[in-house]
Amino acid sequence: MREAAYRVFEEQTASPRRAKGLLLCRFVVIFLFLAAMLLPQHREVFNNRYAGIFGLLVGLTILNCLYYLLTRHIKNLKGLVAVQMVVDLLAISAIAWLSGGENSSFLFLYFASIVAAGIMLSPRSSLLFASFSTISLSAIAIVRFLGAYYDRPLPFLPRPYAGVSPDMSNLFYSLSVHALGFYVVAVLTAALAGRLRRMRDLNRQIVEQFRDGLLVMNGGGRILFANDSAVGLLDFSAKNNLVNRRLNTVFRRETDGDLRDALAAAPPVKREIRFQRGAGSYADLEVATSVLKSGRNKEGGTIAVVRDLTEQKRMEQAARVTEQLKEIQQMSAGLAHEIRNPLASVRGCAQQLGNDDPRSENSRKLLGIICRESDRLDRIIADFLQFARMRRPKKKKCDIAEILGEVADLIEARRRERDFTLQCNFRSGLICRADSEQMVQLFLNLATNAFEAIGNGGTIRLVAHHHPESPPHGERRVDSRPRHIRVFVCDDGEGISPENLGHIFTPFFSTKDNGVGLGLSIVSTIVEQHDMQIEVIDELGGGTRFELLIPASDYPSEAAGERTDAGNESRLVGASPLP
């Protein structure tokens, strides 16, 4: 990753360095060109009477100085470099025109222009400049040839025209060789530049796919690169708001001080900070910086890795809370056990006193209260211990219909308390793998809640059937067996208020006067241990519906019977099944 980040750093800093290198090379070429004019073999070609050559050199020098000033103020250096290279190609053509056309000693400048285009601009640019060079040199050579052939004057060229071949075949051969050379160099340059570009793209993809935020900065504190993860973690809408800007400009809020100090500190640095995002939200971040070094072990910049620790901190806090809850659970279970023993003694003594014919009716009444409240407290402790010591389920094949039938019988036994209607609709063969005792406990708790929610003359419904599931569109399922069993426990009571609906599974939450608040907590635990799903819905017009989705085991046979009211084996009463 460090190597990839350094390559990205090199890419981001390469454009200014290449632009300056091009300026330096141009100054060197102009100097060498002036020196070449002093050589004896070139004096006849570059004579002082050719004022155009000196004007060209002066113009190129002035342009080069102008280019240098523009590189310090223009962000689009690639566009500026493209303009420079087009001007260079025109200048090379002018030099070729003045120094012998296709026989000029300075045609190598065309090759330099083609290579520079492939490196500075793009691989295809080398082929484009090779075409321009071929066309330009061919036009120069043909015009010079025609001028010499017809003895016509040519601009800036005195007669007789030096270096003009009188043979058309030689001219064609010379141009063909040069054109072939141009394109060979262009193809090789394009191949090399293309390979370098693919390596740069690969390095960029590596750092972009990095899950943590990655920032690359130069020595002046300017952000040269930021991957998508860094943009998201630091709450920026786009890279343009982060890249090519200084740290003190980007992170200028007072709340950004810790992050700004961590990024601006001399590396290596590793700190955990709390970063404020938009809308008042916060994120726990780890900022680690290190020095980027080149192959020569020179410091080139700073790389910063920003890691989001928010979820990790949340999980650590949840783990600490869970551990504390386990300790509280163990302590509470022990405390409940210690309370239960003397409570049994108190109840026994009170019961014995009641049997010994107390002196007054008031004493018997008080002793009855002691016994009832002791029984109630014993039930609370029993429920608490059951919740705190919920054992792992012993799963085996069981029929949901049989379990619901047993629950229905238990609810029917409470008919002496109030008049109600119990509607059952389920058939045997609803097979699943579960702990039958815990399933009875689950449905009995739900049915008991329904019984306590309805008034005199209310209705409770127990419905179960296989859940129909359709295969995805365009697919054909070979195994057509249902995969889930759907169970409904409904009542027509007052329902659950919206503000209480989200807390009904919370331990010790109850809206009943004498409620403990552990029944639905036990239900939630059993549902989770059996990989089931539960949903609570307020019925239209009043009442509550608990829906459970249970993973099915085996599909029932066609001969499976239905429950009816006639006997203990089956039951089917009244209401139609729910959807």
Q: Which amino acid is at 123?
A: P
From 4-18, 105-119, 251-265, the region with the lowest mean pLDDT:
4-18
* Cα(556)–Cα(482) distance, integer angstroms: 10
Question: Reduced to 3 states, what is the DSSP secondary structure of residue 56?
Answer: helix
For residue 556, what pLDDT band results from cuts at 50, 70 and 90?
very low
Name the residue among 116, 59, 124, 62 with its Cα closest to residue 89: 116
Residues 450/523, Cβ–Cβ less than 8 Å:
no
Span 204-226, average pLDDT: 80
For residue 575, what pLDDT band results from cuts at 50, 70 and 90?
very low
The DSSP 8-state label assigned to residue 470 in this structure reads P
pLDDT of 358 reads: 57
Span 12-24, average pLDDT: 68
The residues, any chain, with a CB within 8 Å of residue 41's CB and separated by 6 or more, are none
Q: Which amino acid is at 339?
A: I
Strands (E) across 294-354 are located at 299-308
pLDDT of 248 reads: 85
* Cα(440)–Cα(398) distance, integer angstroms: 11
Q: What residues does each domain of the chain span?
A: 2-206, 213-308, 313-388, 396-471+479-551
Pairing of strands 458-466, 420-425: parallel
Strands (E) across 233-298 are located at 245-246, 269-276, 282-293
- Which of 34-38's residues contact partners 24+ apart within 8 Å by CB, and which partners? 36/105, 36/106
- The number of beta carbons lying within 10 Å of the beta carbon of residue 8 is 23
pLDDT of 564 reads: 39
From 4-8, 56-60, 101-105, the region with the lowest mean pLDDT:
4-8
User: Phi and psi (nearest 5°) for 251?
Assistant: -105, 75
Question: Reduced to 3 states, what is the DSSP secondary structure of residue 180?
Answer: helix
Q: Find the Cα–Cα–Cα–Cα dihedral 219, 223, 227, 230, rounded to 10°.
A: 100
Angle at 419 between CA 413 and CA 420, to 5 degrees: 80
Name the residue among 288, 227, 295 with its Cα closest to residue 259: 288
Question: Reduced to 3 states, what is the DSSP secondary structure of residue 542?
Answer: coil
pTM exceeding the 0.85 threshold for the entire prediction: no
Residues 87/41, Cβ–Cβ less than 8 Å:
no
Residues 258/285, Cβ–Cβ less than 8 Å:
no
- 562: exposed, middle or buried (Cβ count in 10 Å: 0-12, 13-18, 19+): middle
Residues 229/211, Cβ–Cβ less than 8 Å:
yes
Question: Reduced to 3 states, what is the DSSP secondary structure of residue 167?
Answer: coil
Count of alpha carbons within 13 angstroms of residue 217, beta-carbon side? 26
Name the residue among 436, 430, 521, 532 with its Cα closest to residue 482: 430
- Which of 67-75's residues contact partners 24+ apart within 8 Å by CB, and which partners? 67/23, 68/20, 68/23, 71/16, 71/19, 71/20, 71/23, 75/244
| More confident of the two residues 114 and 211 | 114
From 305-319, 357-371, 449-463, the region with the lowest mean pLDDT:
357-371
Return the top range by mean pLDDT from 242-246, 266-270, 543-547: 543-547
| More confident of the two residues 432 and 51 | 432
Rg (CA), the chain: 45
The DSSP 8-state label assigned to residue 414 in this structure reads T
Segment 483-522, tens digit of pLDDT? 889 999 999 888 888 777 777 777 767 777 666 666 787 8
- In the sheet where 213-217 sits, what is the strand order? 245-246, 222-226, 213-217, 299-308, 282-293, 269-276
Assign domain 313-388 to its CATH architecture. Orthogonal Bundle (1.10)
Would you identify the CATH topology of the domain 213-308?
Beta-Lactamase (3.30.450)
- Domain 396-471+479-551 CATH (choose: 3.30.565.10, 3.30.1330.20, 2.60.40.10, 3.40.47.10): 3.30.565.10
Span 300-319, average pLDDT: 83
